[in-house]
Amino acid sequence: QVQLVESGGGLVQPGGSLRLSCAASRSIFTFNAMGWYRQAPGKQRELVATITNDDSTNYLDSVKGRFTISRDNAKNTVYLQMHSLKSEDTAVYYCNAWSGALAYWGQGTQVTVSS
């Protein structure tokens, strides 16, 4: 059973920064790709960023230039660095990993952007 454990969420003022971490219970090389989703109250879950094993990345248009996804293979951890946060970034952020046809999810971490 794969476990993904997110951390780093919290309350931040508009314009602030946070770094989310996702620690996997096995080598992240075993996944085809990893990513971050978010879900705001009353909205559908949306894909924020992805990173593949060859470090190819993709981002939701609204976070391009503000968020950066990265990976530390030695620590089996994926990060989401978030800058210039806006109130509309408020959501529960979920880590996700894909291995073939299987998808794994973390429990989520709350990010609240408010003054």
pLDDT tens for the chain, residues 1 to 115: 899 999 999 999 999 999 999 999 999 999 999 999 999 999 999 999 999 999 999 999 999 999 999 999 999 999 999 999 999 999 999 999 999 889 999 999 999 999 9
What is the rounded CA–CA span in Å between residue 81 and residue 94?
14
What is the rounded CA–CA span in Å between residue 67 and residue 84?
9
Q: What's the confidence (pLDDT) of residue 65?
A: 98
Name the DSSP letter for residue 9: -
Q: What's the confidence (pLDDT) of residue 1?
A: 84
CA neighbours closer than 13 Å in the CB half-sphere of residue 50: 14
Burial class (CB in 10 A: 0-12, 13-18, 19+), 8: middle
Q: What's the confidence (pLDDT) of residue 44?
A: 97
Q: Find the length of the chain.
A: 115
Q: What's the confidence (pLDDT) of residue 100?
A: 87
What percentage of residues in the chain have a pLDDT greater than 70? 100
